[in-house]
Amino acid sequence: MSKKKTLSGIGVVPQVLIDGYVRYLRLEKGVTDNTLDAYLNDLQKLLNYYGDEGIDYRCVTLEQLSHFSAQLREVGISPTSQKRVLSGVRSFYAYLTTEGELEQDPTELLESPKLGLHLPEVLTIEEIDRIESAIDQSTPQGVRDHCIIEVLYSCGLRISELCALSFSNLFLEEGYIRVLGKGRKERLVPISHRAVRELENWFTIRRQMEPVKGFDDVVFLSMRRRKPLSRISLFIFIQQYAEVAGIAKKISPHTFRHSFATHLLEGGASLRAIQAMLGHEKISTTEIYTHLDRSRLREEVLLHHPRNIKKE
């Protein structure tokens, strides 16, 4: 990132600490530019609060931080956004403590707002097959799109991971692909024989394309621009195919990742294995799928248990 990051009201915290925090996030945490911007925006909210209240960042109390959290709620910031802001605050104070600027982290006991459990939308195998069947594979774009959906589902990739997938990270004979995930962390993900076949079909077309300079190693390109696919284009064509297939659910590229994880869990895979394949840093993130599985189990019980079946 060429532009130097600065924050207003910086008198509350020395600029040298902000600069050090930016380096810490970039080099040690490996955050993306978008994540860096989000962390600094969250820190700006805290600095504004300190400036308004005349608080010294080195002497802030848990009560004052809790009051800051309450203010976020009072101005209408959603619980999810509140949680993200407080995560940024904790990150900043973790940096200050690590660097020896503070002896004790004042955010250790700071509580985040409780979030209601949001169960992601999941497709059945039959619905995924219907979406793939809705694609006209007689066209080059159809071959590409059919391959993309199969790879998304077979490997449980994030949309950004699929868009950045490169030939140098494919080990198809060994049955793996290497994925560069959040925080630039690498992981190896098994790939199904069906997805390998789809990739080989796409390669016959991809080899005939002349990418824009610098994108020769990218697997999936825009047919027109010869550059990596954008997120929005993936959203659009997946929703279009779902509509043609008669899928009423609200889906996105991420829906195939949720479906991948849920079907693995239903098939008997362990949470640790699913965590590794999804690239989740914390097992708690993966545990959402146990709730999803229980929800589906409840539906099955209500539908099929003899005590729940209503007599006609």
Q: How many Å apart are CA 182 and CA 117, to the nearest integer?
A: 23
If DSSP codes are grouped into helix, strand and coil, which group holds residue 180?
strand
- Cα angle at 181 between 114 and 110, to 5 degrees? 25
Helices 253-266 + 125-133 axis angle, to 10: 140
- 155 neighbors 149 (Cβ within 8 angstroms): no
Q: How many Å apart are CA 210 and CA 226, to the nearest integer?
A: 7
List Cα–Cα distances, 146 to 108, 152, 241, in angstroms.
48, 10, 10
- 139 neighbors 130 (Cβ within 8 angstroms): no
**Which burial class, exposed, middle or buried, applies to 283 when counting CB atoms under 10 A from its CB (0-12, 13-18, 19+)?**
exposed
DSSP run (H or E) holding 51: helix 33-53
Residues 6 or more apart whose Cβ sits within 8 Å of residue 96: 17, 57, 102, 105
Q: How many Å apart are CA 306 and CA 6, to the nearest integer?
A: 65
Q: Which positions are annotated as active-site residues?
A: 158, 182, 254, 257, 280, 289
Q: How many Å apart are CA 77 and CA 42, to the nearest integer?
A: 12
Q: What one-character DSSP code corresponds to residue 156? A: T
Dihedral sign for Cα 187, 193, 196, 202, please.
Answer: negative
- 151 neighbors 209 (Cβ within 8 angstroms): no
